[in-house]
Amino acid sequence: MFILNAANAAIITACLRVACELDVAETLREVGSEGLHVERIAPGKVNSDLLARILGLLAMHHIFREVTPNVFTNLNRISAALDKGKTQEELGCAETRPADASGPAAVVELLQVKILIAEENMKMVAFLGEAALTTQENQRNLPFNHVFRTDETFYAWIECPENAWRRQRFGFVMDATAAWEPPHTILTGFDWSTLPAGSLVVDVGGGNGNTSMQIARTNPSLRIVVQDLDSAIKGAKLHWQSNFPSHIDNKMVSFQAHNFFTPQPITDASIFLLRYILHNWADEKAVLILQHLRAAAQPTTRLIVVDMILAYACPPSAAESGPETYAVEGTTRPSAPSPLLANWGPASSFAYTLDLCTYSYHGGEERTLGAFLDVFARAGWKLVRVYNPPASQLSHLECIPI
């Protein structure tokens, strides 16, 4: 039965999408513990018989509770994970979905958008079999290319005018990834306060610059440059003007349109920061990004890569337990005791899921420690320390030029 349930897990994802589209958790919140019949949850909008079956499956997985036949209510914390805390009037305003979310609501909006975007994910992972059964030398198309019937890369395709709504949705997901982590996690790894006043931090591929903004709020003497493509930089300027205008007024932050596959124009950086960048790219592209940064680096420049380090389910292999890794502080993390899997099993499965998701979209990957060491060395960087912030799946990998 376990295998059968796992094979049909995509059906649960599809059911969650329906619940998100219909704002079921918000509707049930307003009626309380007595619940609501499916015919009144979204009257006139849906097939109520099918909705009853969909919510019935979700109730089987403790996401909602079936009070009496076809009457459902929320189930405490689990249902609350789908509730944005908005009124029906607010939910009915299309212009505010999902861009106005903040705080706890942003976490829920992110969860719901991820569920909605899972429709695309499910289509793409259906082509993982074709990819796995094709040698790397003969592989020309990613699952993304198969699904959307395009030869473009994902980032080129999403910039097309007809994909504006997808671009907005994708941008929201990227901006809201900060909600995956406890607040200020970026401040609990590398110690930004050790940088001298006036040091320059370049947020490479920084999107709206939210990560570097957190750094600047706590360390206002640091200068920031947010780099990304022109379409993202326009949003970054508005984001900083709305949320941290004093850093703009004090001329401590600037914004630069830049493609990180081209030579890096800034040659006096104290820090090059890459958060959730390298995992989007296969090794050859990741090495190219890092080579451009290495060419622009001073001897004192440091590279901070914020990404997941993929842990093996087996005990650490000899290849990743050698003297070159033991000599680097932070690379040894506690393994789970037997009979648990060494990487804590399902508790760490998100990294493996994201690994295949990034591959399906971009050909990217979540890297093991050994894979990071290889990419860094090929690009002229040396790993000197790994920071593992508490309650976070992200690590901060600190490198120096070699």
* Tokens read off for 43: 């009257």
* Tokens read off for 18: 């329906």
Select from 364, 232, 222 the least CA-distant residue to 304.
222
Q: Can you say whether residue 259 is alpha, beta or left, with left for phi > 0 and alpha for psi between -120 and 50 degrees?
A: beta
The angle formed by the CA atoms of residues 270, 273 and 276, to the nearest 5 degrees, is 175
Can you state the angle between helices 230-243 and 210-218, rounded to 10 degrees?
Answer: 40
Beta-strand runs (E) in 174-312: 200-204, 223-228, 253-257, 271-275, 302-307
Q: In the annotation, is 61 catalytic?
A: no
Q: Which of 279, 292, 362, 396 is catalytic?
A: 279
The angle formed by the CA atoms of residues 100, 14 and 144, to the nearest 5 degrees, is 80
The sign of the torsion formed by the CA atoms of 345, 347, 353, 354 equals negative
Judge contact between 320 and 372, C-beta under 8 A.
no
Active site residues: 279
